[in-house]
Structure 1
């Protein structure tokens, strides 16, 4: 199955490369150096990376995480260094005598620097996995044993048979990586021969369709930017996306993966459609074909309450983090961009305005990530299928909203950020609605007892949300007030003091630092229980 992506991906790559080559005009070729060559390099890089996919999947199955980190880490570092070096070289190699004004963005390498670095990344990924697998292969092991046996025989004049034993030491044969027909004996005793197992192929199709749908929702913003905006707006959005998504890649992604694993372990035996491990807890079939409510054990009840409280704690963390970005990020984007990348991006583009709007998007992105991670951890296969249909609806709303904001209103990069906010807010509400129903299945049997029973109905749609105290994710009023005051204060200093001069920057940043310290002090005094809960989560993750 791991070879299936290679022909499919190769076909998609050829279509993509052909499409972009057909869209090139003379103006683009003159404006972007190496544009056509860059497209070819990206296509070839994709094909090379596809060839490494089987080894990547086997490494995942073998739990060779160190191998994966070493190969991918080395390739990423080289790609970053090479991109930086080529970009710097291109900025210094502007043709002498050309009329280049101060603060312009001319570069002789342009996008070609990124394409070359990506091509090298693909080669290093494929070569790194080949070397890693050769070092762990049975062929390499047998060769080393033969050499060792020959050395011992030459030294002592004896042959050591033990060195050529074929015990399973976690290695893998290089020849086993090549595709071949498989055989298995069926229930009737007949031997079947095939390339793809039918059940596995069916499951792969389902997962692939869901992955494509999520990919469209994730990457659809770039597709829509290419459709409705000019190259300048696309560049601004790419700039903002790379800087703005740092917090998502560094903090949100590991937290989502950890939460998905943790919730799966806590709630695996009380997920929808599962049976309870206690004999007395099993439901019984009635005459009309329905199942009587199932009583949960004390352990299951504890895990259920723990998971709900854990979910609310993590969501509150995202809300507080979002308040930090909104209060202290929205009015410092121009200052940050001016200090990091220069006056071109801070004054001649809309990057500061778009990045300010992106600060509102950060908490929405965090809440969506954690809620969907929990949904995937506890939902049944049927419920995940229902989620796919909802995702199609969310995708349609996202596309129509983006087309209206960018095409009709002409908001450009700001419009796509707003469309993403609308999309993720809908997904958050759906996930909260689903999780309300999940936890709402279990209600107290009677006052004073800790047992729960399965609940079949929830009342109205809005009433369903009442089964989880979602209001607990909101900070205390004092915290909201201090962040609101900080937002107003930083807005006033940006407007009255400005950020263009060095002194202006120092005063503006100094006021923000003081406001941040005060806000964190209020959080520390008002949210002591929340901070203890976060500390407990960190300790649990380390264990």
Structure 2
């Protein structure tokens, strides 16, 4: 009984820390993205579509490939294993526990250099002649690679901050890094634009310099808090008797790393190849098929479209990964544990995890209703203010409109993927990897089919929706099996996830009222005529005010019919 209360108390403290961390990360994204959004408006006008497309699509793809393949598996594995001061008896943790985690955290920096060199060489060979003919292309590319390696050097400290739920340190590091990156990029582009006949010569290097500034600042802030990191594994002083009977190679590995966690991180890393293609598939296809001058239009649309994902969805997903990893940690690291029987997990932890997952999905569905209802109606009004003139005639408006429908799928998939990566065994991961190959084929087939049907660049957004739908279905089935396989057979009541009929009714009536009012005043004709000054029109201003009022009414309806009780139950669990 005492252990159960102890576990419940730990879960409550962890949930409080997770909620606080989520708030901090959302605050970080809101401040940094809001600040950079303002500077980006000027930055987009300084950089040509060709330069911006190369930096935002192709160089960012190179950067994310290096980072994803080097660190993703290690990050997810360490979330399960990092010794936490909030755990019971944490003061009795031996130095071996900490050294094992620190050793594994140094792996991304060690493998990052060969991964970076390989990736840059392959990209340099495959890049089109138009791309490579841009001024200072190769120096800018290698600066991006250097920035990636520099960012990987921060991994031991990043993993420590996340493992110990000390998110405020990460907030400071990344917040300052993003701010400095944007300022340096803008100043460098501004300086380059004033070079007369040579203007534009160093535009690509301006973006590269900004990325290098980000990795340098993040590393420096982490060092200030944690001291200089250990980038080389230390030999463990103790080994189990079982490890002594292994072969020389396994014995050598086990002298530095925990074999179970290392195997889990390797499995997750191998899976990252397929998952990375699904995550960055649109950039791969655009960079391969689209002319260089058209890539800038897609890049700016995705940049704006992903603001919601970066500000809200990404922090929530990361904190959910930390929360589920810690709450259900008793069986997470067992490679031999059956994937459908987790009887070793504490019953209170299992109940807390199931309720947290259901609450998360319920809120995300409400959020999705609001985004689709109000976003689809008001996005056309703000396009003229968001997009520079040279991008209005590109595919950017269509891609942004498609993103309105993409965001709900991103939200739901992110929460489910966070749960899956937190509890899946190597067997589960291998099974998902096989299915991810199928999902990749579905994505490619959908993208090619929609392109042939003349959907243009929006084909990639709709193909991603189809792909995410399949992935959501897979993880929902996994989650059901996971909780059913527990000895207490926790059932996930999927029917309770749907918003209340009152909220749906108010949302539908809002959609009808806004649409009718928009047709009555012919709002799109006013926007087309007035452009950026459309909001100064009293008719458009009243139309926007109508949407704001109905949005507040919709949220209030949800709160009174479901949200209040939902949040109250969550607070009760953290009390």
1:392 aligned to 2:392?
no
Structure 1 contact 33–108 (Cα < 8 Å) conserved: yes
Name the CA shift for 1:64/1:315 in 2 (closer, same or farther; >3 Å). closer
3-state DSSP of counterpart to 1:274: coil
Question: For 2:297, which of 236, 248, 256 is the aligned residue?
Answer: 236
Structure 2 contact 507–554 (Cα < 8 Å) conserved: no
Name the CA shift for 1:436/1:25 in 2 (closer, same or farther; >3 Å). closer
3-state DSSP of counterpart to 1:497: helix
Per the alignment, residue 323 of structure 1 pairs with: 369
Question: For 1:187, which of 233, 238, 241 is the aligned residue?
Answer: 241
Structure 1 contact 312–473 (Cα < 8 Å) conserved: no
Question: For 1:520, which of 552, 565, 572 is the aligned residue?
Answer: 552
Question: For 2:263, which of 196, 199, 202 is the aligned residue?
Answer: 202
Per the alignment, residue 526 of structure 2 pairs with: 497
Name the CA shift for 1:439/1:339 in 2 (closer, same or farther; >3 Å). same
Structure 1 contact 233–412 (Cα < 8 Å) conserved: no
Partners of 1:35 and 1:180 in 2: how far apart? 39
Cα deviation 1:348-391 (Å, max 9, x = unaligned): 32212211110111111111112333344555554344333222
Cα deviation 1:407-458 (Å, max 9, x = unaligned): x34544211111111111111222233334445568xxxxxxxxx9649xxx
- Structure ID, larger Rg: 1
Name the CA shift for 1:243/1:11 in 2 (closer, same or farther; >3 Å). same
Partners of 1:538 and 1:353 in 2: how far apart? 39
Cα root mean square deviation, aligned: 3.9
Q: What number of residue pairs does the alignment pair up?
A: 452
Partners of 2:384 and 2:223 in 1: how far apart? 44
Shifted more, 223-232 versus 473-482: the winner is 473-482
3-state DSSP of counterpart to 1:469: helix
3-state DSSP of counterpart to 1:330: helix
Report matched runs for 1:90-489 at 5 Å.
90-93=192-195, 95=197, 109-130=202-223, 132-133=225-226, 136=227, 177-179=231-233, 181-182=235-236, 184-187=238-241, 196-197=256-257, 198-262=259-323, 272-275=340-343, 304=351, 310-345=356-391, 347-377=392-422, 379=424, 382-406=427-451, 408-438=452-482, 454=489, 468-469=494-495, 472-473=498-499, 475-476=501-502, 477-486=504-513, 488-489=515-516
Per the alignment, residue 445 of structure 1 pairs with: none
Cα deviation 1:300-359 (Å, max 9, x = unaligned): 8xx64x7656544433432332233223323433443422443222x2322122111101
Q: Which has the higher helix share?
A: 2
Aligned-pair CA distance for 1:77 = 2.0
Question: For 1:10, which of 113, 121, 136 is the aligned residue?
Answer: 113
Partners of 1:235 and 1:308 in 2: how far apart? 43
Per the alignment, residue 64 of structure 2 pairs with: none
Return the TM-score normalized by structure 1.
0.70
Partners of 1:262 and 1:393 in 2: how far apart? 30
Partners of 1:39 and 1:369 in 2: how far apart? 30
Cα deviation 1:116-153 (Å, max 9, x = unaligned): 111222333444445555xx47xxxxxxxxxxxxxxxx
Name the CA shift for 1:473/1:417 in 2 (closer, same or farther; >3 Å). same
1:81 aligned to 2:183?
yes
3-state DSSP of counterpart to 2:341: coil
Partners of 1:70 and 1:78 in 2: how far apart? 12
Structure 1 contact 52–129 (Cα < 8 Å) conserved: yes
Aligned-pair CA distance for 1:485 = 1.0
3-state DSSP of counterpart to 2:342: coil
Shifted more, 113-122 versus 67-76: the winner is 67-76
Name the CA shift for 1:2/1:370 in 2 (closer, same or farther; >3 Å). closer
Name the CA shift for 1:234/1:86 in 2 (closer, same or farther; >3 Å). same
Aligned-pair CA distance for 1:16 = 2.4
Name the CA shift for 1:454/1:208 in 2 (closer, same or farther; >3 Å). same
Partners of 2:405 and 2:119 in 1: how far apart? 33
Per the alignment, residue 35 of structure 1 pairs with: 137
Cα deviation 1:89-134 (Å, max 9, x = unaligned): 44455549xxxxxxxxx9555333211111222333444445555x
Which stretches in structure 1 are left out of the alignment for 5+ residues?
Answer: 97-105, 138-173, 279-296, 443-451, 456-463
Cα deviation 1:28-84 (Å, max 9, x = unaligned): 456x44323211211222233334434544555676655544444332221121122
Partners of 1:234 and 1:65 in 2: how far apart? 35
Partners of 1:363 and 1:413 in 2: how far apart? 20
Partners of 2:115 and 2:325 in 1: how far apart? 34
3-state DSSP of counterpart to 2:439: helix
Name the CA shift for 1:28/1:215 in 2 (closer, same or farther; >3 Å). closer
Shifted more, 504-513 versus 374-383: the winner is 374-383
Name the CA shift for 1:239/1:538 in 2 (closer, same or farther; >3 Å). farther
Which stretches in structure 2 are left out of the alignment for 5+ residues?
Answer: 1-103, 246-250, 332-338
